[in-house]
Structure 1
Amino acid sequence: MDWFQALVLALIQGLTEFLPISSSAHLILPSEVLGWPDQGLAFDVAVHVGTLVAVMAYYRRDLLAMLGGAGQAVSQRRMNQDLRLALLVGLATVPAVVFGFLGDDWIERELRSALVIAITTLLFGALLWLADAYGKRSRALTTLGVAGALLIGFAQALALIPGTSRSGITITAALALGYRREEAARFSFLLSIPVILGAALLKSKDLLEQQLPVDWGMMALGAGVSAVTAYLTIVFFIRLLERIGMLPFVIYRLILGVALLVWLA
């Protein structure tokens, strides 16, 4: 992988990690369609760290409130809304961890293909449109309970399949439950923090075990570009969400899915 390819892949990671269009699909496609070499484990770690920094920076107030809520709960010996949200994020993370542990190798071996990406891009794009068009979009995140968090968490586990989109499927589930668009995106992005952190740690462990040579300059480029791009993407996505809705992303997914099927034919 050369520097130009690294720059493009870092931009793709930053742009697609939090938009409902699947970052994994867009990172696989350059290899499938253009014949680019695999980005490598070290670079994968770098761009994940970049997106993690971006989402934590954007939601820093929520994270600090959760931390403060935990301290307040200990001192007052009673639950509060901030700690409750943190616990629901943790609970919703469990399904992805379990299914990832059980099926990640099989998914990596059997489902990383352009055909799978085309099918999931179309299928979950249609579900996103249905949830956005017919969801009530009236509930606030303060009404989220254990059952709703688990449902969103199981939906997130489907994102292990390339082309599904982690943000897309969790936002779809939240919209289907009747949450407002901004609230659905907020929970989805908070939910991404433990998932991205866990993925980065596991990939770092694999990297250390394999003792592969690391191009630190390319890693710095990947982390920096993906962090800045992801942060700006979150800012503009949240600001425009109520105005534009999910339809532009649904249309993009349908075009991409059809284009892939035509290319594969």
Structure 2
Amino acid sequence: MQVFYDRQSFSEYINALKEQNKKIGFAPTMGALHAGHISLYNAARKENDIVISSIFVNPTQFNNPEDLEKYPRTIEDDIQKLESSNLVDAVYIPKVEDIYPNGMERKHYDFGGIENEMEGAARPGHFDGVGTVVEELFLQVKPDNAYFGEKDFQQLKIIEKLVDVTDLDIKIHGVKIHREESGLAMSSRNMRLSEKEKEASSVIYKTLKKVDEWFRVISIPEIKKRVDEVFHRDDMELEYFLIADENTLKEVDFFSTDHSYRAFIVVNVGKVRLIDNMHLN
């Protein structure tokens, strides 16, 4: 596996691949890699000649400077995990100036309103930051296929919109949520949880499974009431729970048989913010 730390050498590598008509699969990350990230490269390996990773903690998508400061940075360990996976041909670890040569400014995108739902409602500009860094990485990596986890489902939908509004010829693939044995969605933030907090957090997935059962037989207001009751506890704080249309991401309060729905939940466990979601059958 090759490791690139600067834009120039990485660009030469990509141009050589393009001259050979190699099909490139790509999954960008912010590091602190876990088995969920590796599942993206496993999916990419099946459909591409070359699989590329990137590691870059993007400053413009953090609204809270403290979150940016606390975000785990484990570059050496990340490189070792990628190498051990035998799935990745190259990893790009750019410097800030490789991504933001003209200063750290976010572009503004029209994502059709989905950027203002859920995570976007409380984090203005967040998805402009996501779009800015992903568009720049797409332009540098020049992938044919790109892979994103469904844990960040809203982000996945944003990236799908991004390739439309920027007219990039890239196919976006969503990869199912990778979970720990307890059902907890794998996340870089999980390493900040104590063992006791990890164990307690399994209730998030158990609750989503219950929601999938309740979805068939009771109303959304009643479902929300039951979820609220689950999280009336000292060790967790339910930030929000909602059911939304999978395409528009708008919250709904009743079901229609010709639409697809997904339940979204955000829970604060101690000082760690955990997100999860589930398609409702």
Give me the TM-score of the superposition, normalised by structure 2.
Answer: 0.25
The structure with the largest helix share of the pair is: 1
Larger Rg: 2
The structure with the largest strand share of the pair is: 2
